[in-house]
A and B are shown apart, each in its own frame.
Chain A
Amino acid sequence: MAGRLSTIGLRITHAIPVILGVVVVSFLLTRALPGDPAVYFAGAAANEQSIAEIRTALGLDKPLTEQFLVYAGDVLTGDLGNSLSTGQPVLEDLANRLPASLELTLTALLLSCSIAIPLGVLAATRPGSAVDHLCRVLVTAGVSLPTFFTGIVLIYVFYYLLGIAPSPLGRLDFIYIEPDHVTGFYLIDAAIAGDWETWIGALKQLVLPATTLALFTLAPLARMTRAAMLSALSSDYIRTARAAGLTEDKVLFTYAFRNALLPVITTLGMVFSFTLGANVLVEKVFAWPGIGSYAVEALVVSDYAAVQGFVLAMALLFVALNLVIDLTYTLIDPRIGFETK
């Protein structure tokens, strides 16, 4: 156990150069973007003088190296600067929006895993059967339907036509008062506060966007589960286990599934990181105040501090995610050890 803790420490120190690199690259990339934030934010009737004033106020009149030193110093003290487009400190924006995105993405992944993994296993154990065909249809549909399209169709059917879904107005309908901020996850915060009415309200808002994302993330997970299960089931150790007369359940779950889980976890990690940043379209359609639409809007108007803050937050998140996935590997397959690396 102590060995594992020290390896975690080691892994975290390994992440430091990565983070430093991200800070430098995100700074340079935002500066390389076309567009001049001073002109943009000076507003409609700005003249040369007011543009120059804004440039000075933003510190953009200083040489690039000096700007970078100021930025790096601020980051070290935990200050990510102020976003021009929302008018708030970037740290505050991220603290508000990251939980919104995480809540949506995690719910969607939970939903898609609970469908994709059993479906993949069933499809692999009964190749060519009706379940296998169902799996194939779902996978194809999931991959080929873009999320904004699925989102709008779901809104049209369940909200507009049937009227059984709540209005797509973001995380909580305006008739509820949002729960006190503890984690930023409305479901968790409402549960802590014991406000079950709000909890139900937040859950209802989650259903359609989470389903939209789940349909999209279902495909890679189901395919990967099916493929991994198929290769596991055709391997030598399964034949041996069967020959040894073990029960089918034991063969399937203890031997085949456990081995098949490794690639599935890898895919899950990739899908998670991809979805978190890429669900901009779902966020727009459902008015979800998430981090994806925040980053895109910041990028469009060359809002340097917001873009840099977003990239940094994502980098930190990925480092943490990779660590968690690697740890999960060692739990699933004891042969994989940190120590050997």
Chain B
Amino acid sequence: MTYETSRRGFLTGVGATALGASVLPFLKVLPASAAGNDVVVAVTGQTINSLDIHRKGTNRPSYQVAVNVYDRLVSFGTKTLEDGSLSYDYAVIEPEVAESWEFTDDGMAIVFKLRPEGKFQDGSPITAEDVKWSFDRAVSVGGFPTVQMKAGSLEKPEQFEAIDEFTFKINLLRKSKLTLPDLAVPVPMIINAKVAREHATEDDPWAMEYLHKTPAGSGAFKVASWKPGEQLVYERNDDWTSGPVPAVKRVVLREVPSPATRRALLERGDVNMSFNMPNKDAKELSGTEDITVTTTPVENAIYCLCPNLSFEPFKDKRVRQAIAWSVPYEEVFQTAAYGRGAPLWGGQSATPADIAWPQKFPYSTDLDKAKALLEEAGYGEGFEVPLSIDLSQSDWMEPAALLIQENLAKIGIKTTIEKIPGANWRTASLVEKRLPLHLETFGGWLNYPCYYFFWAYQEGHLFNSSNYRNEEIETLTPEALHMPVEDPDYAPKIKRMIEIVWDEVPRIALWQPALNVGTRNLAGYEYWFHRQLDVRGLKKV
């Protein structure tokens, strides 16, 4: 056993110096994968089910392959947050495959100059033709990639032009501040079109079957092996042309479903990273020697309680306000989130001071106020309503619902908790929008308040599970959506929109969720809006 421990200890860097020369003879028998200090081992609870983000049915954890194995035209910058951790910076757009870009004089097109030295992992050059093929694919295959492209007003292949080998032009349908950031999300990745075309067939013109298992990108890492349900091994692309070559040679990403086991592995020092830890473990492990827990509030995301306006008592805004005044915010935050994240209650003014989003809603726990509002609305006797939660998110929804149920009972609203299976949840809450009172979790990738409003407050839009409609919001949101943030009209519009939804509370903010990552002997972890692991900046320490 000691023999094995030293091999693994060597591999993970723990005690490598302490063991010193005595271990050196073992180096000969080390398998290639265990070559010392530039291997990072990370564990996660989720399965990667495809290496192609454009494929139908590709799940969220798989998006990281698009990030690490493919490049985009542009990327976001990096900034250091207050707590010293790293985060992407949505305010800064940096070159990736493109070395520069400029808008045409009328502002209706963007011309990108590609790096002439840009190479795919197979050594062939990255040309404008590859970019065009990849973008055509993203807007044509349907499903999630097409929807995401559309968010940046990238809707049809005719918009994309390969001017010459290294010049690529996007013709815009409308001027929108969302277009450039949308080119930096994982979806518009650049695929090696020559390789993909070879494997395209008549039934499968976009080589979906091939790219599903065999990436053809230019990214910082290659996929060395992939066993769905077990592990994914990244291997460094030593000839990466779109950025500085990463410090680590291999990253082994192991799937370990049980959080208790993941925690034990990190505590024992057998892994360098536990990605997306439960809040409870993050709370208990923070402050532990040797382990760094990074907790980053998820941008543009809110966990909320949603009263559905299609149901009678909730049509009255005073009833919704009464519920907002009765939620035991602090208890919910401490019990359901273990205090990880950011509070979104207790705002001082009913009008927002700035356009930060999410920011504290002007509600707190005040049962007398809640009772008075219910009286006023004519529901002094109270009423009965089911409170629906998603079984697959019961880790936080169940404690939150129980605490809310308890306080609602105090103002006469009798709730029964209805648990809906995960497979049914989206249909019931978002598609059919038929749950009278429920918990909801939308977060937007593009970090603008108007983007959140577009998805969550406009009538008929997917995440507006409250069936909310307000004429002013319906006008203001589309106006603000594409407007540059610097526009003098932008801030007043956003402030007005926030003021309205604070007053009418179709969504009662509980707290801003957080992403927890535990690391050991590892630096360079960076938070991204897509909440997946970017392994490019990791460094062993």
Q: Are A174 and B231 in contact (CB under 8 A)?
A: yes
Q: Are B260 and A285 in contact (CB under 8 A)?
A: yes
A176 close to B (CB within 8 Å): yes
Closest CB of chain B to A175's CB: distance in Å?
5
Interface-lining segment among B79-87, B143-151, B152-160: B143-151
Query: Which residue in A39, A84, A96, A164 is a CB contact (below 8 Å) of B426?
Result: A39
Given contacts A35-B424, A45-B148, A85 and B143 within 8 Å (CB-CB):
no
User: Which chain B residues lie closer than 8 Å to A167 at the CB level?
Assistant: 8, 265, 268, 270-271
Q: Mark B265-285, 1 if CB is under 8 A from A, else 0.
A: 101101100000000000000
List the B residue with the shortest CB-CB distance to A297. B47
Closest CB of chain B to A305's CB: distance in Å?
11
User: Which chain B residues lie closer than 8 Å to A283 at the CB level?
Assistant: 257
Q: Are B60 and A44 in contact (CB under 8 A)?
A: yes
Q: Are A300 and B392 in contact (CB under 8 A)?
A: yes
User: Which chain A residues lie closer than 8 Å to B231 at the CB level?
Assistant: 170, 174
Query: Which residue in B146, B212, B257, B265 is a CB contact (below 8 Å) of A50?
Result: B146
Q: Are B228 and A87 in contact (CB under 8 A)?
A: yes
Could you tell me the distance between the alpha carbons of A285 and B262 in the complex, rounded to whole angstroms? 9
B467 close to A (CB within 8 Å): no
B478 close to A (CB within 8 Å): no
User: Which chain B residues lie closer than 8 Å to A41 at the CB level?
Assistant: 56-57
List the A residue with the shortest CB-CB distance to B391. A300
Q: Are B254 and A169 in contact (CB under 8 A)?
A: yes
B252 close to A (CB within 8 Å): yes
Could you tell me the distance between the alpha carbons of A96 and B5 in the complex, rounded to whole angstroms? 28
User: Which chain B residues lie closer than 8 Å to A37 at the CB level?
Assistant: 423
Query: Which residue in B8, B229, B455, B462 is a CB contact (below 8 Å) of A173?
Result: B8
Query: Which residue in A40, A43, A173, A286 is a CB contact (below 8 Å) of B143?
Result: A43
On chain B, the number of residues with a Cβ less than 8 Å from chain A's Cβ atoms is 60
List the B residue with the shortest CB-CB distance to A156. B264
For chain A residues 16-55, which have a beta carbon within 8 Å of chain B?
Answer: 33-37, 39-47, 49-51, 53-54
Given contacts A85-B49, A175-B31, A45 and B462 within 8 Å (CB-CB):
yes
Interface of A with B (CB < 8 Å)? 33-37, 39-47, 49-51, 53-54, 57, 84-88, 93, 96-97, 152, 155-156, 159-160, 163-164, 166-171, 173-177, 197, 201, 204, 283-287, 289, 293-294, 297, 300-302
Interface of B with A (CB < 8 Å)? 1, 4-5, 7-8, 11, 29-31, 33-34, 41, 43, 47, 49-50, 55-60, 62, 142-144, 146-148, 151, 212, 227-231, 252, 254-258, 260-261, 264-265, 267-268, 270-271, 392, 421-424, 426-427, 431, 455, 462
Chosen A-B contacts, 18 in total, with CB atoms closer than 8 Å, are A35-B422, A35-B423, A36-B424, A43-B143, A46-B143, A47-B462, A50-B144, A53-B142, A54-B57, A57-B56, A152-B260, A163-B5, A170-B256, A174-B254, A201-B4, A285-B258, A286-B258, A287-B257
